[in-house]
Amino acid sequence: MSVLLDGNDLPQRWRGCERFVVLDTDFAAGHRFLAAWQAWRDDPQRCARLVFIAIQPRSLTHAELRAAHRDSAQAELADALQRAWPPPTPDLHRMSFDASRVELLVAHGDAALWLRELVAEVDAFCLDGEAPADGRRLGKALGRLAAPGATLAAGSVAGTLRAQLTSAGFEVRPTRELTLARFAPGFAPRPAPSRGREHGAVERHALIVGAGLAGCAAAWALAEQGWRSTLLERRLQIAAEASGNPAGLFHGIVNSQDGLHARFNRAAALAAHAAVQSALDRGVAGSASGLLRLEASFDVERMRVVLRHLGLPPEYVQALAADEASEGAGIALARPCWFYPGGGWVRPAGLARTFLDRAGDSTELRTGIDADRLERSATGWRVLDARGELLAEAATVVLANAGDALRLLDAPGWPIDSIRGQISIARASGLTSARLPIAGSGYLLPAFDGAVMFGATAQPGDPDPSVRATDHALNLSQLARLLGHATDLQPADLAGRTAWRCSAADRLPVIGAVPDPAAQGARLDQPRFVPRLPGLYVFTALGSRGITWSALGAQVLASCVTGAPAPIGASLLDAIDPARFVSRKARRTTRE
């Protein structure tokens, strides 16, 4: 008997569903996932989308995965899983199959911790193996995640497990070999405002303002969830402002404390690699074959100690001595480097266009449309031009137009700045470039299109659009620090481009449902509890990490809009939630 399929009455229960979510508390090399995926494929009445969430208690390498499925009965599916398998970092990893109609989320690490972090509404649970030691916490976590009528099958008949499931609101039906249960609590607590599912009665269509990296990525991520979108772009072409530079970098970071910034950037970099590779496969200029980031404080031995402590695998990051980094770069480097095998560079406009191409017919693009004002309507939101004439109306609106989103939101007082940045471009004949992109205090890209790009300046509150010789000089100084020596280049030898990046003071993006400024009497100390304006979302403040953050940020945005399981944990969702600014202010007021 299959604990997952037979114990949860599958495939019968997913028939007629738009989305069906399964949670397996032990991935066990993915055998139950493959069985569920095959059953979904074989069922002509299958649900539109199958989401399989699994916890992998220990890291599982590519080699171990291949060995586990060497004689798999689902050889085609096992091969697809192996190709998609990510570096085994301690994160929540998202993979999609069958044109994004099957989604796999694998959380590497302790099950008790991840059950508190997952944000999803689960329709079927599988608890194979022995009952966890802390049944009380398990029951509470499962009850929080369970959708109405969710079923559960456990390969344990321990009385403590049955008792805790009953306490959490499950009706338990023990058998000789299994524990079966159905979620039927006496009352259903309301979800936190940022975790709710207000989308249930709403047309699956979103109006997106802004068609840079953020807006185009949002259209793609919504299309993956079965939503249509309409993009309004004030320029005559996409990605013409902050996303309009000839090229940009993407990579993760390493921090010895592995805090929110490091974890979000790591998850984002892994998602960015897949998105960029898709763009490269479509002919977009760039590379996803690695990036070097100079380390200014640690020697290479200390760097390697940090990696061992954090348990980060070499597929994600390696610590290289200066001579090793120099060999990879093809030029002499004076400092040790973090090498990110999945990092690289890409043309941002090409990546944005790839997002739209992948969204396909689900997205309508309207350029030359300047959104001047946003106002509530009886059915949602209206976007108006400068003359007050209606441009578009929808129940769901996503503001993905960088700093202009703050103006449309009528200046909510969020600590977000517009930062002027100037890049410098030298002729390839005048500057020896590296084989790999190099980052640190500034960056240097490999030569492409007969030129070498480096930079960039960062000047908050500077509205000057001109390309300035003084800024070329600043970029040359940064380049000298990267290379360990000055070059013969002069500002007059360089071309450049100026653009403005929208960046939050805490150096994280701003993604999620917009807080309701008129809310009274609500709990404000935690972002997830802050009341929201129905149907209004924001995706902004990507700063200088638009390429790195756009894919994961869009998937987070889509999960907020559609109710799909979140691709990151609850603590990271709170960290990038626009309501975090409200909560910080509320906590300061309470202390005072």
Over residues 422-481, the pLDDT tens digits come to 999 999 999 988 999 999 989 999 999 999 999 999 999 999 999 999 999 999 999 999
Decide: helix, strand or coil at residue 367: strand
Residue 133: partners with Cβ closer than 8 Å, 6 or more residues away? none
**pLDDT in the model for residue 481:** 93
**pLDDT in the model for residue 129:** 55
pTM of the model: 0.96
DSSP state at residue 493: G
Q: Calculate mean pLDDT across residues 533-553.
A: 97
* Cα 468-400-20 angle, rounded to 5 deg: 145
> How does residue 514 score in pLDDT terms, banded at 50, 70 and 90?
very high
**Residue whose token pair is 């626009």:** 578
Q: Calculate mean pLDDT across residues 187-193.
A: 73
DSSP state at residue 93: E
Q: What is the C-alpha separation between 142 and 260, in angstroms, rounded?
A: 25
**pLDDT in the model for residue 231:** 98
Buried/exposed 196-217: b ≥16 CB within 10 Å, e otherwise: bebbeebebebbbbbbbbbbbb
Model pLDDT for residues 219-244, shown as the tens digit of each residue: 999 999 999 999 999 999 999 998 99
Model pLDDT for residues 329-380, shown as the tens digit of each residue: 999 999 999 999 999 999 999 999 999 999 999 999 999 999 999 999 999 9
Model pLDDT for residues 165-175, shown as the tens digit of each residue: 999 999 999 88
Concatenated DSSP letters for 199-233? GGGS-SEEEEE--SHHHHHHHHHHHHTT-EEEEEE
**pLDDT in the model for residue 199:** 47
What is the share, in percent, of the chain residues with pLDDT greater than 70?
Answer: 96
**pLDDT in the model for residue 485:** 92
> How does residue 391 score in pLDDT terms, banded at 50, 70 and 90?
very high
DSSP state at residue 191: P
CB 212 within 8 A of CB 243: yes
CB 542 within 8 A of CB 549: yes
| Mean of per-residue pLDDT scores for the chain | 93
Q: What is the C-alpha separation between 61 and 67, in angstroms, rounded?
A: 10
Answer with the residue of higher pLDDT: 135 or 584.
Answer: 584
Residue 159: pLDDT over 60: yes
Q: How far from the centroid of its chain's Cα atoms is residue 298's Cα?
A: 29
User: Strand 438-440 relative to strand 416-427: parallel, antiparallel, unpaired?
Assistant: unpaired
Buried/exposed 504-529: b ≥16 CB within 10 Å, e otherwise: bebebbbbbbbbbeeeeeeebebbbb
**Cβ atoms within 10 Å, residue 301:** 11
List the single range of 132-146, 165-179, 215-229 with lowest mean pLDDT. 132-146
**Residue whose token pair is 């890409």:** 346
Residue 326: pLDDT over 50: yes
Residue 132: pLDDT over 60: no
**pLDDT in the model for residue 134:** 53
Residue 151: pLDDT over 80: yes
Query: Containing H/E element for 80?
Result: helix 75-84
List domains and CATH numbers for the chain.
12-189 (3.40.50.150), 202-241+350-415+506-591 (3.50.50.60), 291-341 (no CATH), 416-500 (3.30.9.10)
Buried/exposed 66-96: b ≥16 CB within 10 Å, e otherwise: eebbeebebeebbebbbeebbbbbbbbbbbb
Q: What is the C-alpha separation between 150 and 165, in angstroms, rounded?
A: 12
Residue 521: pLDDT over 70: no
